[in-house]
């Protein structure tokens, strides 16, 4: 006879849209709050660890990540941006108990291409298909179109967290087998998550980004003071020249953001996106929806000239970081991109006491503007063992090269290395 102990602790289900998932249950896993957890000592310790994940790494600490919220992911689907039609078929993995309470979840998509991911595997797909395999569909555990590091295996803190996580990983692998997908790709997880997935048998991959770190600055000038004299003067000149043609910068956030702002920004996004990568991913409807869903988490930096908006950048506000996402323009002006995307972001982060600014993927030019190189991560689970071994060999060499490049970049940050010598040189100058 079956007893209560015989019953499985959890069940795994696949949700074909975010609308099939309870928003509060999802968000309790995505951004858990310490005051919402059991007061049991062990549970509280696990909650604190979850909230300060990667506390030893300034580039990954975040108490609230807007991109893994139910509202953000749901807006991508309901706006027509991330759907089966665009090659992003939602297959979210949800771990529940007998009372349908969510203990773990992961944003997952069956992909028919590799666009909009920012962790490039085109060469893998080409090699596998030339060898007679079928690379697509594949499973992508990520936030679509968003190269922002953060948690991907969203596990609620508590005494059953490890068990729920095991069900989540097992559910992903079962889904891969059921769908005939070639592989699972967990992109931009935290370092801690990537290492855990490596212990689960997945292949670990690294890359790089450039983040600004707020070292206790009170003002933008405090930040400039930390730079070498030459870099300090360059940034001041760039900021001055960016506004030389009668351009005014406007920061808009919260309920002050209206449809007129979204109309203007979408025009910038479409114009720049079409020129850079051919087909912008996000729809106009997405911006209205996300603006309605989380206005207090959005910062628009808009440039106006002669009474009309000519350029803009969108940022999302976490509890610890400002995340620069998209930018666009209808007029080209020297250094305007740097002003709207980098300098205004730094100034805003300092004014809000945010710990860092993440300005998106790639961009070595950020280094000269006070952004430091950091490592990003991904984990890959390939069903074909022979192909997996070939990829593992490639990744071993790639990780060494990424580490070497980050070390070299670290030697060329624009910050002062000898303050006394800098001051003497500046006085001589």
Identify the pLDDT of residue 274: 67
User: Residue 354: pLDDT above 60?
Assistant: yes
pTM: 0.90
Dihedral sign for Cα atoms in the order 317, 323, 324, 325: negative
Tokens of 144: 């679509």
Using alpha carbons, select from 154, 164, 146, 73 the residue that is nearest to residue 376: 146
Dihedral sign for Cα atoms in the order 279, 281, 284, 285: positive
- What φ, ψ does residue 314 adopt, rounded to 5°? -110, 135
User: Residue 419: pLDDT above 80?
Assistant: no
Radius of gyration of the chain (CA): 23
Tokens of 274: 């079409």
Per this entry, what is the length of the chain?
429
Identify the pLDDT of residue 277: 56
Tell me the pLDDT band of 364, cut-offs 50, 70 and 90: confident
Identify the pLDDT of residue 361: 84
Using alpha carbons, select from 113, 111, 116 the residue that is nearest to residue 89: 111
Read off the pLDDT of each residue in 332-358 and give the average, rounded to a whole number.
97
**DSSP 8-state assignment for residue 297:** G
Residue, of 22 and 8, whose pLDDT is higher? 22
Tell me the pLDDT band of 273, cut-offs 50, 70 and 90: low
pLDDT digits (tens, 9 = 90+) for 210-238: 999 999 999 999 999 999 999 999 999 99
Residue, of 364 and 390, whose pLDDT is higher? 390
Tell me the pLDDT band of 278, cut-offs 50, 70 and 90: low
**215-354 domain in CATH 3.10.20.30?**
no
User: Residue 422: pLDDT above 80?
Assistant: no
Identify the pLDDT of residue 417: 74
Read off the pLDDT of each residue in 186-204 and give the average, rounded to a whole number.
98
Angle subtended at Cα 77 by Cα 72 and Cα 80, rounded to the nearest 5 degrees: 125
Read off the pLDDT of each residue in 17-33 and give the average, rounded to a whole number.
97
CA distance 399 to 340: 33
Angle subtended at Cα 303 by Cα 301 and Cα 308, rounded to the nearest 5 degrees: 130
- How distant, in Å, are the alpha carbons of 43, 102, 202, 361 from that of 120? 38, 32, 17, 12
User: Residue 37: pLDDT above 50?
Assistant: no
**CATH topology of 4-206+376-408 equal to that of 215-354?**
yes
Read off the pLDDT of each residue in 145-168 and give the average, rounded to a whole number.
97
User: Residue 51: pLDDT above 90?
Assistant: no
For residues 384 and 378, is the Cβ–Cβ distance under 8 A? no
Q: Where are the alpha helices (DSSP H) in 31-160?
A: 41-51, 70-78, 122-130
Q: Between helices 284-293 and 70-78, what is the axis angle to 10°?
A: 150
- How distant, in Å, are the alpha carbons of 93, 105, 416, 417 from that of 424? 60, 57, 13, 13
- Say which CATH architecture domain 4-206+376-408 belongs to: 3-Layer(aba) Sandwich (3.40)
For residues 90 and 20, is the Cβ–Cβ distance under 8 A? no
Q: Where are the beta strands (DSSP E) in 198-307?
A: 203-213, 248-253, 298-305
- How distant, in Å, are the alpha carbons of 44, 76, 249, 309, 360 from that of 300? 37, 19, 10, 12, 16
Residue, of 275 and 427, whose pLDDT is higher? 275
Residue with tokens 């449809």: 259
User: Residue 428: pLDDT above 70?
Assistant: no
Using alpha carbons, select from 30, 414, 379 the residue that is nearest to residue 234: 414
Read off the pLDDT of each residue in 143-170 and give the average, rounded to a whole number.
97
User: Residue 369: pLDDT above 60?
Assistant: yes
Give 1-41 as a DSSP string: ---GGGS-S-EEEEESSGGGS-HHHHHHHHS--GGGS---H
Domain boundaries, the chain: 4-206+376-408, 215-354
Tokens of 209: 């980004």
Tell me the pLDDT band of 9, cut-offs 50, 70 and 90: confident
Identify the pLDDT of residue 3: 43
**DSSP 8-state assignment for residue 226:** T
Using alpha carbons, select from 116, 76, 133 the residue that is nearest to residue 124: 133
CA distance 324 to 310: 18
């Amino acid at each position: 006879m079956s007893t209560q102990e015989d019953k499985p602790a959890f069940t795994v289900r696949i949700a074909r849209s975010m609308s099939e998932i309870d928003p509060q249950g999802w968000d309790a896993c995505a951004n858990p709050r310490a005051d919402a957890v059991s007061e049991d000592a062990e549970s509280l310790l696990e909650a604190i660890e979850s909230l300060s994940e990667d506390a030893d790494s300034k580039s990954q600490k975040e108490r609230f990540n807007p991109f893994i919220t139910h509202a953000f992911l749901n807006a991508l689907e309901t706006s027509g941006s991330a759907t089966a039609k665009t090659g992003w078929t939602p297959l979210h993995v949800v771990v529940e108990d007998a009372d349908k309470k969510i203990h773990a979840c992961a944003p997952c998509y069956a992909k028919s291409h590799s666009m909009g991911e920012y962790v490039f595997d085109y060469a893998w797909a080409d090699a596998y298909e030339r060898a007679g395999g079928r690379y697509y569909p594949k499973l992508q555990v990520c936030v679509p179109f968003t190269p922002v590091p953060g948690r991907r295996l969203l596990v609620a803190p508590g005494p059953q967290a490890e068990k729920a996580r095991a069900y989540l990983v097992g559910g992903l692998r079962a889904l891969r087998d059921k769908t005939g997908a070639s592989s699972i790709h967990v992109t931009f997880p935290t370092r801690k998550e990537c290492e855990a997935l490596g212990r689960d048998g997945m292949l670990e991959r690294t890359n790089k980004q450039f983040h600004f770190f707020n070292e206790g600055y009170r003002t933008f000038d405090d930040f400039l003071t930390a730079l070498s004299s030459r870099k300090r003067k360059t940034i001041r000149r760039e900021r001055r020249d960016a506004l030389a043609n009668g351009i005014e910068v406007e920061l808009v956030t919260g309920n002050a953001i209206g449809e007129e702002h979204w109309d203007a920004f979408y025009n910038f996004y479409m114009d720049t996106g079409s020129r850079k990568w051919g087909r912008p991913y996000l729809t106009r409807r997405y911006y209205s929806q996300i603006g309605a869903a989380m206005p207090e988490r959005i910062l628009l930096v808009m440039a106006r000239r002669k009474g009309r908006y000519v350029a803009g950048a969108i940022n999302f506000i976490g509890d610890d970081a400002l995340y620069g996402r998209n930018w666009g323009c209808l007029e080209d002006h020297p250094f305007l991109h740097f002003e709207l995307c980098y300098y205004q972001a730094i100034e805003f982060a300092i004014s809000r006491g945010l710990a860092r600014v993440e300005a998106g993927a790639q961009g070595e030019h950020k280094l000269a503007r006070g952004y430091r190189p950091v490592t990003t991560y991904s984990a890959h689970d390939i069903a074909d063992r022979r192909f997996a071994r070939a990829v593992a060999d490639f990744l071993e060499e790639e990780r060494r090269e990424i580490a070497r490049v980050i070390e070299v970049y670290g030697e060329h940050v624009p910050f002062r290395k000898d303050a006394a010598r800098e001051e003497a040189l500046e006085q001589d100058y």
